[in-house]
Structure formats: structure tokens, C-alpha cells
Structure 1
Amino acid sequence: MTLWLYLRRALKATLFDLSTRNLLLLTALYVVLSWLLLKLTGEYELTDNFSNFIYYLMVTASTVGYGDHSPVTDMGKWVVVIFIIPGGLALFASILGRIGSNLVDYWRAGVLGKRKVNTDNHILLLGWNGQRTLHLIRMLQHEEEGNRPIVLCTRSDIENPLPGEIGFVKVSSYTDAQEMKNARIDVASCIVVDNLEDDITLSAALYCTNINPDAHLVAYFKDEALSALLSQHCPNAECIPAVGAEMLAKAAVDPGSSALHQELLASTRGMTQYSTYYPATALEISVEKVFLFMKNHHQATLIAVEGEGNIELNPDLETVIKPGNKLFYIADERIEQFEWGKIV
């Protein structure tokens, strides 16, 4: 009696557990038994050709019933009624249910951030700050439409805020090597670190620099000391300080300044301040000529020139722009290609 109970429990635990393995075994058993039973009942038209046999089973199990193949003997008809149709329907429904369940699980894994993103050369955002992060994503989407994909990686207990638009990875720590592999830091072209706590921002930025030193790293800090610390260890990192106090002082002295800054940095049409490089193969030229060229040919305004590690804001017209210098300008939209050959 004890042996029978043990065998029954073992049978229930394996046979009636609709795992993928058991479904495959049951399907194989169903196909073999169906072929043997039809063969024994003289249904040679259904069993002599393997393609016809499988086709008949699929048409029967899916309830399509074209009628081009059917049993002709009485015993064959009873085999179909008692075994092939009920067994085929049960297996067909189980297989479709398993496929559907796996597809849903796969989709949910992406929404919950548990799946590795399948992208490279992407912009990786580390951190979640509610509407501020959503606004940042929207601006990046406006700028990077059709170019670099965006991936959000966060420790916050959220689901993908923009499913189908961005990649999403959820981690417990920004320095967990196993979890961070899902965000593919090593192939990201730009990494933006923005967290509520500066110490987390610092550790995440240092970790990302160690994994991908070639990526453009941008980190936002409220504490200038930590910002300076990151700059010392990662000279190529671009540290963005909190400018709330400066904005308040500027607005108090020059009313309307806050609206101007908002328009420059977060316009509803997208960002309005951009940068480009003066061609490395061109000759030295004055700021005056470049200023007039940008305004006349592209309706853009030159505001600064970067050279030898420093940015000169509102440069003199006589200032010389050297090949390879970075130029900052204001325009309604980013100018993808300057017609430098038209400079007079």
C-alpha cells in the first residue's frame, strides 16, 4: 500500500506537471500511439506517408477539419473518436497555452527590467527621479530620434515608464556586475548618472568609468565636493552641479532670466543650445566670419568657443578659431551639416 501511494504521488508530480519537457514527451507519445493505432486498424492512407499523417493530426487537433483525409474503417473511426480527437485537442490547447504564457512572461520580464537589453551605442540613464527623468527622456528622444536608443537603469521599484519606447533594466545596486550586465554598460556611448543621493551617483559613475572608460559620462551632483572628487578621478567625466541658488540670484537681479534659461535648456521644441566642431582640415578663421556665416546661412548664433580645455563665452570678434575647436551655438533645431565651404 505504501509503495502504491508513493508511485501515485510520483506520477502526479511528473506526469501531470505540464512542464515543457512533459509536454514534449506527451506529444511524442501521442504521435507514436496515434500512428500505431491507425496502422493496426488498417488506415494505411493516413500512416504510409509521414507528411500526410502529421498533417492529419494537426488538422484534427486544431479542429480545422478540412476533410481531405479521414479514416475509412470502422475501427479507425473509433480510434479517432476515442483517442486522436480528445488527445489532440488537449495537447493542442496545452501547447498554445504554454507558448502564450512564455510570450507573456518574456514581455513582462522586459517591463519589469529583468531582461538583458539587446542594443549597443545607446544612451544609458542611471537613476529615476520621476517627472524629471521622464522630461529628460523626452528631450533625448527629440534629439536622438532615429539615432541612439535610450536605456533606463534604476534601483527604484517601478516598471518601464515608456514600454516600447525605451529599454529598461532594474537592479538592486549600480555596482553589481552581474545585474549591470543587463544594461550593457560596456557598449554604451553615453552614460548619464542622476540619483537623489550624491554618494550613489559617485559610486555609479566610478563603476561605469571602470567598465567603459570610452563612454561620454555625465553626472549630476548637488554637492560640489563630490563633483570635484569625481573630476579628479575621472578627468573626462562631465559633472553637472546644482544651479538652483545661481538661478535664484540671477532671476532676482535680472527678472525673466529663469524663463530664458528654461527656453535654452528645455524648450517645448527641444533643446535650443547645441555644439559642433570646426573642421580639422579647415584654415584658422576669426570669430566674426564664423558668426556671420552661422547667422546668414543657418539662422544660428555663435555663443562660445572651446579650445585648449577652456570655454570662452561671448568671444571677441577678432578671436581666432583653430581647426578642431568646438563651437557652441543657439538654433531652433540642431544643424546636422554646416556648409563650411560657403564661409567668405
Structure 2
Amino acid sequence: MLIHKIRLVLASLFLQARMSTVVIAAVLYAASSYLILYLTGEQSLLEPTAFFYWLVVTASTVGYGDLSPTNDAAKLAVSLWVIPVGLSLFALVLTRMGIFISELFQKGKKGLRMLDLKDHIVIIGWNQARTHRLIELMKAKTNAIQAKIVLCVDTDIENPMPGEIDFVRVDAYSHEESMARASLNTASRIVIDTPQDDVTLTTALFCQKASPDSHKTAYFEDESIGRLLKEHCPNVECIPSIGTELLAKASLDPGSSQLHRQLLDSTEGMTQYSVLYNGNQDLAYGDLFDHFKHNLTATIIGLRKGGSEHILINPDMEERVRAGDILYYINEKRVNERECFDIPAGK
């Protein structure tokens, strides 16, 4: 009875101990077991490899029997110390490991774990079905983007897509310590889509300071707030609500809403992509148009000149494409940069 109570007390102390304490206990157990074998004259078990193997097999109660003490003193010592203490220590280490793994999993599920990612995509804001759809579109195979996605929310929820995305829950989108868990400073893209425009505005300003080199997009219901953000952060791409414009277009040109939806849907069929030109030589837009159409079965629909906010839709065939310009095209899947600008000889 007394021994049982002592074991319960030791177990309680062990489970509350730090990992360093666990390591020290294991080292002391191994050292004392080795000393016992030495004092009892068990020379066959003192060789380091044989001792380690025998101790693990004995403490875990596997008991292969190929190595064992031979004299009575060693057998008695092993029975009173090595086996009972080793069994308790082994069981408690496994329990502690199980608790550690469980806590780690729960932290990840609840969004409390510190992430260590690079060149990933951070989506800030939770809009239920809309956020699910956003993640689905960004993970589409046709996009050919393998970057990990981190969903960052300030609501009391658990990871809505475990196993598919990483998840971080923060106190506020401008709270520096909790936002750092999303590895914001090493993200390649940040998408800000919160339910309130004023929160989106402050979040975008925070992200511009925390991650100045990432590409940032922010969605606004009120276009005037987006314009206000552009005045302070011209590098942030503001996405306005186009519901009214699309409604008017669809009423004048039936089917326009389906067309625009298809161009934006990267999960199936033809959709719209972009590619940045970084070459040293200027290229003729007409040559690129022919190359895309005949060699890549794709259609260029627009050109954005480097540093310009305006996109040229269906530009003149003699227009020159220079380093820093962006081409927008329609295709079944994203085409890599080399294929886009590797025009066959003679063009």
C-alpha cells in the first residue's frame, strides 16, 4: 500500500516535471543500474552496447532473454531496482510523450502554435463559406502553387480545414505577438478579407509594416476606404466589391456574370492567370500573342506596364513588352515563365 502511494506521488511529480528533469532522472537510473552490475560483478553486461541494449529490453519488459544477469547478487539487485524502477520510468516517459504530442496537436487545432514557415500564403479574416471557397480556389491544381496556406482568425473557432491548411487564432489582427505566430514577416502573399472594412484597413496597415516585401491584397465593400488605403500603401492591391457593375453588365449582355465567374474560377475549365516578364530584351506584343495562341493554346487578354495601375485590354500588336511588365492570359492551367517567353526562332 505504501509503495503504491509512493509510486502515485512520484508519478504526479514526474508528470509535472520539466523535460530536463525527465532526462536527468533517466540518466541517473541508467548510471545507478550500471553501478549495480559493476558492484555485483556482472562483467558480461558492462560493455556499453550490450548494457544499453539489455537495459532498454529489461526496462520496457520486452525481455528477450539473450542477455541477463548470471549471479544471485545481480539477479536480486535487478529484481529490486532495475525492473520495477525501469518499468515505472519507461511507462511515465511514454505517458509524458503522449501528453506532449496531444498538447502540441491541440495547440495546432486551436491555432495557438508558433508556425515556422517561409514563402507561404496568409489569409486574414473568417467569412465562413466565402473563406472556404477562397482557400479552395487558391489550392486549385491549375494554379500550380505549392505554397502552404495559413488561415488567421480573431474568432473563437478551431481549424475549419485540419490537415489542409495551417491555422492561427489571434487576439487582434494588429496584435504583434499573436500575429507573429503566422510567420507574417516571411510570407510571400497576404490576403486580407475581414467582415468589417475598418478592420481590413487597420490590418492592411499593420501587415505593410510587418511584412513590407509580401504581395498584399485587401477586399473592401466600400471602395472609398480602399482608395484611402492606396494613398498610404500604394503597394497594397485593393479589391472593391463589383456587385453593382456586374449586375449592370449582366442585364445589358446576358451571360456576363457566368463569364466573369468562369474567368475567376481556377478549379475547372479555362481561367485567367498572369505572368511577370523579367527578360533583358523588349518583345513585341504581337509575337507573344501568336506564341501563346499557337504554342501554348492560351490567349493573352491584357498587359500592365511596369509601375502602372492601368491594364491595357487587347493592346495594339505593336506594343512593346519590357522587363517589369505583366501579361494576363486565359488558359486551362498556369504556364511557367520560361515557356511563356521562350518564343521559337524566327519570331
> Normalised by the shorter chain, which TM-score bucket?
0.7 to 0.9
How far off is 1:150 after superposition?
A: 2.0
The CA distance in 2 between the partners of 1:29 and 1:279, in whole Å, is 62
2:29 aligned residue = 30
Normalising by structure 2, what TM-score? 0.85
Q: Deviations over 1:181-216 (max 9, x none)?
A: 111222212111111111111111001111222211
2:184 aligned residue = 185
> What does residue range 251-330 of structure 1 map to in structure 2 within 5 Å?
251-269=250-268, 272-278=271-277, 280-283=279-282, 285=284, 287-307=285-305, 309=308, 310-317=310-317, 319-324=318-323, 325-330=325-330
Asked if structure 1 preserves the Cα contact closer than 8 Å seen for 2:189 and 2:216, the reply is: yes
The CA distance in 2 between the partners of 1:13 and 1:89, in whole Å, is 13
How far off is 1:94 after superposition?
A: 0.7
Normalising by structure 1, what TM-score? 0.86
The CA distance in 2 between the partners of 1:156 and 1:197, in whole Å, is 13
Asked if structure 1 preserves the Cα contact closer than 8 Å seen for 2:143 and 2:334, the reply is: no
2:124 aligned residue = 126
> What does residue range 148-227 of structure 1 map to in structure 2 within 5 Å?
148-227=147-226
The CA distance in 2 between the partners of 1:133 and 1:267, in whole Å, is 15
The CA distance in 2 between the partners of 1:13 and 1:54, in whole Å, is 24
The CA distance in 1 between the partners of 2:75 and 2:85, in whole Å, is 14
1:67 aligned onto 2:65: yes
The CA distance in 1 between the partners of 2:31 and 2:282, in whole Å, is 80
Give the direction of change, closer, same or farther, for the CA distance of 1:225–1:42 in structure 2 (3 Å limit). same
Q: Deviations over 1:107-165 (max 9, x none)?
A: 32222222222221222211122222222222222255464322222212222233333
1:45 aligned residue = 44
Asked if structure 1 preserves the Cα contact closer than 8 Å seen for 2:277 and 2:326, the reply is: yes
The CA distance in 2 between the partners of 1:135 and 1:271, in whole Å, is 18
Give the direction of change, closer, same or farther, for the CA distance of 1:116–1:289 in structure 2 (3 Å limit). same
The CA distance in 2 between the partners of 1:343 and 1:157, in whole Å, is 61
The CA distance in 2 between the partners of 1:12 and 1:333, in whole Å, is 63
100, 104, 107: which one aligns with 1:106: 104
Specify the SS of the correspondent of 2:275: strand
The CA distance in 2 between the partners of 1:14 and 1:232, in whole Å, is 62
How far off is 1:256 after superposition?
A: 1.4
Q: Which moved more, 1:165-174 or 1:91-100?
A: 165-174
The CA distance in 2 between the partners of 1:28 and 1:58, in whole Å, is 13
Give the direction of change, closer, same or farther, for the CA distance of 1:39–1:293 in structure 2 (3 Å limit). closer
2:234 aligned residue = 235
Gaps of at least 5 residues in structure 2 are none
2:343 aligned residue = 340
How far off is 1:32 after superposition?
A: 4.3
The CA distance in 2 between the partners of 1:22 and 1:15, in whole Å, is 13
Letter in 2 for 1:167: D
Give the direction of change, closer, same or farther, for the CA distance of 1:12–1:84 in structure 2 (3 Å limit). closer
1:83 aligned residue = 81
How far off is 1:267 after superposition?
A: 4.3
Asked if structure 1 preserves the Cα contact closer than 8 Å seen for 2:152 and 2:170, the reply is: yes
Give the direction of change, closer, same or farther, for the CA distance of 1:288–1:24 in structure 2 (3 Å limit). closer
RMSD: 2.8
Asked if structure 1 preserves the Cα contact closer than 8 Å seen for 2:286 and 2:319, the reply is: no
Letter in 1 for 2:181: N
The CA distance in 1 between the partners of 2:83 and 2:275, in whole Å, is 70
The CA distance in 1 between the partners of 2:248 and 2:156, in whole Å, is 37
Q: Deviations over 1:63-92 (max 9, x none)?
A: 221222212223332333333222211111
Asked if structure 2 preserves the Cα contact closer than 8 Å seen for 1:209 and 1:234, the reply is: yes
Letter in 2 for 1:340: I
Q: How many percent of aligned residue pairs carry the same amino acid?
A: 41
Gaps of at least 5 residues in structure 1 are 1-7
The CA distance in 1 between the partners of 2:200 and 2:292, in whole Å, is 38
Specify the SS of the correspondent of 1:16: helix
